Amino acid sequence: MHPFQQILNSTLARTEGQPQPATPHNPLDLELRTLPVSATPEDFLALAKARRTIYLLGKALPLDEEKVEAIIKEAIRQAPSAFNSQSSRALILMGKEHDRFWALVRGQLRNVIPAESFHATSDKLDGFAAAAGSVLFFEDQETISHLQKQYIAYADNFPVWSEQSSGMAQYAVWLALAEKNIGANLQHYNPLIDEEVRQTWAIPESWKLRAEMNFGNIVAAADEKTFIDDDKRFIVAR
């Protein structure tokens, strides 16, 4: 089949065989799914401005852990993905498991950073461990491989679209946490920690770790954010 014809056919059939919406697992899921869409563009932009990289975090979450967990799950569910592939996966760590994760990261970094230089890294890790929880973001490579075989004309694009989907899922969670006055920061210790994470939490082989987000109550706000000039960043054509 000619690649263009396959693109046309796949576009027409894009909605066939897509996953059906899952039944909400708890009352908060149901509440989130049934709320009317009443936010204005100004609301969203205000929330986007409120989302910052917060490094000084604590363990005193303003919500119950179960509610935070539900918010994270729903944010990832609602994040867009190519062909509605829903390739994003997550490991949500709270309490002792969060502490366990950052001890794991510390151990791996000790293997590659000279002892005389490790104090700065150790201080940074102490800050991450001081948070209440972590979200580890993965992309399911089995899902991507299946799509590559199903839509050969798009095969080279699916890994790229997967990375974009992961970024949107991360941003969605970050915004959802910010809306509840929960601070967060995003880290990338993958692939150094991948194998130990896989073994420790029985992560499926097809899940590829892409990022790690800490979250907790905001102990100190971020500094004022600066921006480059618009004429260096945007082109507007009419």
The structural domain count of the chain equals 1
What tokens were used for 107?
């151990």
Please report whether residue 22 resides in a domain: no
What is the domain extent for residue 96? 52-208
Q: Are 60 and 217 in contact (CB under 8 A)?
A: yes
Please report whether residue 90 resides in a domain: yes
Please report whether residue 233 resides in a domain: no
Please report whether residue 35 resides in a domain: no
Please report whether residue 153 resides in a domain: yes
Please report whether residue 116 resides in a domain: yes
Each as own residue / partner, the long-range contacts of residues 4-8 (CB below 8 Å, 24 or more positions apart, any chain) are 4/153, 6/151, 6/152, 6/153, 7/151, 7/153, 7/154
Q: Which SS3 state, helix, strand or coil, does residue 61 take?
A: coil
Please report whether residue 92 resides in a domain: yes
Strand stretches in 50-199, DSSP E: 57-58, 88-94, 133-140, 182-187
CATH at 190? 3.40.109.10
Please report whether residue 162 resides in a domain: yes
Chain center to CA of 90 = 7
Per-residue pLDDT of the chain (238 residues; tens, 9 = 90+): 544 455 445 544 443 444 444 444 555 554 545 445 576 878 899 999 999 999 999 999 999 999 999 999 999 999 999 999 999 999 999 999 999 999 999 999 999 999 999 999 999 999 999 999 999 999 999 999 999 999 999 999 999 999 999 999 999 999 999 999 999 999 999 999 999 999 999 999 999 999 999 999 999 999 999 999 999 999 999 9
Fill in the DSSP letter of residue 18: P
